[in-house]
Structure 1
Amino acid sequence: MTWDESGLRHFLTQQLTWKPSEFDDSLELAFIEVPLDYAHPSGERIELALSRIRALDQRRRRGALLSLNGGPGGDGGLGRLLPTRLAGTAPHEVYDLIGFDPRGTGASTRVEGEASPTTVPFDSRPPDSVFAAISADMWERDQGCVRAGGNLRRHTTTANSARDMNVIRILLGEARISFVGWAYGTLLGALYGAMFGAHLDRSVLDSSVHPDWDWREQFASQALAVRENVDLWAEWVGQRDRFFGLGDGAARVLESVEEAAAALASIGEGASLRTAFDGVVGTLSAARGRWQELGALIGELGKATGAGDAERARELLAGQSRWRPGTAAGGLRDAVLEAVTCETEWPADLEIYYRDMRDFRDRFPYGFGVMRAQPWVAAFGTCTPVERRPAIIRGDYPTGLVVQADGDPLDHCPGAVAMAERLGHPLILVTDSGAHEIYRLGGNAQVDALVDAYLVDGELPPKRVELPGEARPSIPADSSLS
């Protein structure tokens, strides 16, 4: 699909009207129109919601800095609030900070789905006997998207969001725009550079999507990333058996973890306690500073299960690991995630998913790994996007930065390595870290300083920079004790 400015004259000449925000005094808000379908711009129009915080030093102002996190599709991101997270920083001195809710999300024209009830209780290790019912539940979820999503569903793609970004740039009066993207925002920023490279200035891609993976591969990689964190934690705990009492060596520690999981399944109502436990192991193993907490938790759970005290086990697990809350059946819910993930291919054969679910259930029980393998709405073929996602290539724009933690459980590190290589950008790698979304959102001052220097002064670090992440707990290994 080509970019034809002559057919977009209405959209490219509209006036931006900024108004004070009712929910944050630091923000100005505006709405613009963009075409639902860029191939037919005279057709239906949708709205995009924007936000702005002006540069603090207008004499040094070097342009606009657009930002996006969350995803896929911007799902769960900060959207118009994101500029507030950059306010008062060095880039704020010289950039207008621009936020937006991508098409389908937030205060922009939303793509929605009807909420549908699930018939299968959430289980991190579901038996084969419920696989068909899980598929049936996902089919109902998909049908809710069909009924409520309308035509916007198939037009909610990363490429269309990149085109929307270009409309935003033009209406801001900028020849080039700078961009910071976290998570899904890395894909959008990289694709904008591929499609509109002549109009991209400085760019930072933090917690990167892999440039070549489809969405199914991206989801599946999360299970492996979580498992790598768990294995590192088990190795560390296994070197400190005198402190934790969970076994000498990683293998014995993992046996203790599995013993706790089995005990929780035996005293709980169904699989709920074991499922919560699997989630906790995945979550806390990513946070190096909480490794001691995870080891102690397993010890306390052993006491509770040994006494058959399900209530105590429930108290210990409460609030440790959460899945997003559901929506009551019959209501409407955000469905941009379901829409944008249809832009890449998914198998239609459910047996492929069942095969992978068995594998993931066995190898990746922690952090809800099996969910990354189960059927998704895109498997049913009811949403045919207007285009498949274009390839990520390096466009004609300045060298940017890629930032990544090596243990990111949501965007697996190989994706960032591949993105940096593909685009020729330096890689800032935070080592021994399970952080996700680092720059200005993760509290890493060294990363913040390097990225600030790039965005403000154009200073590029060496091709690969490794920085330490959050320290592990200062518990001596058994080998260091007399």
Structure 2
Amino acid sequence: MVRKKLIAGLSVAAMTGALTVAVAGVAGGAPAVTWSPCTEEILVGFDCATVAVPMDYAHPDGKQISIAISRHKATEPQRRRGVLFTNPGGPGGTGRDLLYNYLETPLAKVYDIIGIDVRGLGGSTPLNCEVPSTPEPVPTTRPSDTVFPRITEYEKQWEEGCVRGGGEFRKHVTTPNTARDLDRVRAALGEDKISYLGVSYGTWLGAVYGQLFPEHLDRSVLDSSLDPGTTWHDQAYDVVDATKANFDHWASWTARRDATFHLGTTPKKVRASIDKIADRLAVEPVGGIENQTQLDLVVGQYTRYRQVWASLAKDLQKVQAELPLPAGDPALADSNRRAAAVAARLTEQAKTENGVYRTILCDWAWPTDLNVYYRDMRRVRETVPFGGTVPQLAPNNCFFHQGDREPLPAIGKAKYPKGLVLAAEGDTQTPMVNGEAMARTLGSSLIAVRGEGQHGQYTAGGMDPAIPVKPNPCVDDKVNAYLVDGKLPPRRTDCDSTNPPAAIPTDPAPGVEDLIADLGSIAEQLLHAVLPHQAR
């Protein structure tokens, strides 16, 4: 799940079920694909083509739009077992260049791997939104109450701009229609079935495809999944919980090494050290950090990735001591470089997917009371401001969306062919609980990666290029065995992360006072886990 545009700036008439049957019949008569070598520089070496699909599947003979696709042919054609459709998520990530992620895997030997720019994106018929005429509120991880209405007004302008820019086409950019496009592409390729590998939002798209066209889905891997039974808004609560859990794990790890980092001997004391830095940053820059927002983004980003826990603790130790960092200090400079790289990547992605992202979000129902958003923003601002959690809970353009949307299909195991779901313990974009829910709902097998924070598990496919990650054979081998040979793992398999924290010795056993403080922190975490979100 890619964060809404505000977070990117910080770092970061209803159809009936009968329509599906009609669409499936139409897809069978789709014209064959005509391939030619790709001419775009990033796609050179692949084959490219376009497929015409209805803009409105209720009127399949009406206006047509174009879907751009790419292909890498199986390198061992004698072993070819069909096509593998891929999707990078977003919603709205361009997909034709995703093929690069899989060229060095066994999948490339036996599958024609297909990349797709979904409707509205990239080389496909574009969906555009007009940019608001008023400036965006200054991005901040801790917006004051006075900023809330400005954020809301800005999002209203985005919705109005999307209505003007998208016109009639926007009404038909939905996840079910994107799934129908996939089936049109399948038919145009002359394939009876597809296998599917989707990441992030691509897992939801895959689940919807399997629900609408189960007879055409063979093997599927849903990597870093959404929860198919929960709205996008409510999954933001899971993001907050995962962000807090990452911070708590890092604080505990750091507290056990206070002789090295000097941030506090208990998790509470470590948090107090961070809060003192944040309080100072509210007044002036300190220790190479400009403001609270920069601090929150660095802390939120680094606490999810265990392999950089030590770097974060060392940097904050220097800031806490208010020691001016020498020009070009590699530690904090590296922290800021990575945070800036994440922000640049997400900002660029938001620019290219803007219309689709802000349209697909409105597939789901959203709270209609602004007080719900403002209440959550206040609560999280005080408790878990790290990594952009507060903007995640802010009103977005869908609060102002008007008009009917096609109901989302109910996802279940009755129709969906049993497949494989991947999830990571520290992933804050699609938290582990979402992946567990997807596997449970579909009756699919789950690979759970313990101690891992990256988003995208297969082929070390983390979505953050600024953080170094090592491949995880425990994950990759099982995915390959399933997609290539059909060997599905047991109902649940736990893998350990290949990106652990630095091997820094722990301090001697704590005294009684610290033990009591540790128990208090554990009790607080347990209370947080069992209380419903509304009670927090």
Alignment partner, residue 151 of structure 1: 168
Alignment partner, residue 291 of structure 1: 309
Cα distance in 2, alignment partners of residues 202 and 7 from structure 1: 19
Aligned residue identity for 2:305: A
Aligned residue identity for 1:439: Y
**Cα separation, partners in 2 of 1:141 and 1:183, compared to 1, 3 Å:** same
Question: Any conservation in 1 of the 2:225–2:438 contact (CA below 8 Å)?
Answer: yes
1:436 aligns with 2:455: yes
Deviation at 1:105, TM superposition (A): 1.4
1:454 aligns with 2:485: no
1:319 aligns with 2:337: yes
Aligned residue identity for 2:301: T
Question: Any conservation in 1 of the 2:211–2:416 contact (CA below 8 Å)?
Answer: no
Cα distance in 1, alignment partners of residues 334 and 416 from structure 2: 51
Cα distance in 2, alignment partners of residues 344 and 465 from structure 1: 31
Q: 2:103 aligns with which of 87, 103, 107?
A: 87
Give the alignment's TM-score, normalised by structure 2. 0.83
CA deviations over 1:10-32 (Å, ceiling 9, x no partner): 98332311111122332100011
Q: 1:357 aligns with which of 373, 377, 399?
A: 377
Alignment partner, residue 347 of structure 1: 367
CA deviations over 1:419-475 (Å, ceiling 9, x no partner): 111111111110011121111214222211110000011111111111111212100
1:72-83 pair list within 5 angstroms: 72=91, 75=92, 77-83=93-99
1:234-273 pair list within 5 angstroms: 234-268=251-285, 273=291
SS at match of 2:253: helix
Aligned residue identity for 2:129: G
1:477 aligns with 2:506: yes
Deviation at 1:195, TM superposition (A): 0.9
Alignment partner, residue 392 of structure 1: 411
Aligned residue identity for 1:61: R
> % of aligned pairs identical?
37
1:346-425 pair list within 5 angstroms: 346-382=366-402, 384-396=403-415, 398-425=417-444
Cα distance in 2, alignment partners of residues 379 and 12 from structure 1: 39
Cα distance in 2, alignment partners of residues 297 and 392 from structure 1: 45
Give the alignment's TM-score, normalised by structure 1. 0.92
Alignment partner, residue 159 of structure 2: 142
Q: Which stretch shifts more, 10-19 or 105-114?
A: 10-19
SS at match of 1:449: helix
Gaps of 5+ in 2: 1-15, 463-470, 511-536
Question: Any conservation in 1 of the 2:89–2:203 contact (CA below 8 Å)?
Answer: no
Deviation at 1:360, TM superposition (A): 1.5
Aligned residue identity for 2:86: S
Q: 2:53 aligns with which of 31, 34, 47?
A: 34
SS at match of 2:408: coil
Alignment partner, residue 213 of structure 1: 230
**Cα separation, partners in 2 of 1:119 and 1:402, compared to 1, 3 Å:** closer
Q: 1:203 aligns with which of 213, 220, 244?
A: 220
**Cα separation, partners in 2 of 1:216 and 1:309, compared to 1, 3 Å:** farther
SS at match of 2:129: strand
Aligned residue identity for 1:348: T
Question: Any conservation in 1 of the 2:284–2:290 contact (CA below 8 Å)?
Answer: no
Question: Any conservation in 2 of the 1:177–1:202 contact (CA below 8 Å)?
Answer: yes
Aligned residue identity for 1:392: I
1:37-56 pair list within 5 angstroms: 37-56=56-75
Alignment length, in residue pairs?
Answer: 472
SS at match of 1:417: helix
SS at match of 1:224: helix
SS at match of 2:295: helix
Alignment partner, residue 58 of structure 1: 77
Deviation at 1:6, TM superposition (A): 7.8
**Cα separation, partners in 2 of 1:310 and 1:301, compared to 1, 3 Å:** farther
Question: Any conservation in 1 of the 2:94–2:118 contact (CA below 8 Å)?
Answer: no
Deviation at 1:193, TM superposition (A): 0.9
SS at match of 1:65: strand
**Cα separation, partners in 2 of 1:385 and 1:179, compared to 1, 3 Å:** farther
CA deviations over 1:65-115 (Å, ceiling 9, x no partner): 00101212xx2x350011221113111111100010111111111211122
Cα distance in 1, alignment partners of residues 75 and 496 from structure 2: 32
Cα distance in 2, alignment partners of residues 241 and 456 from structure 1: 48
Note the aligned Cα RMSD (angstroms): 2.6
CA deviations over 1:262-306 (Å, ceiling 9, x no partner): 12221149x9621011011000001100000110111122244x6
Gaps of 5+ in 1: none
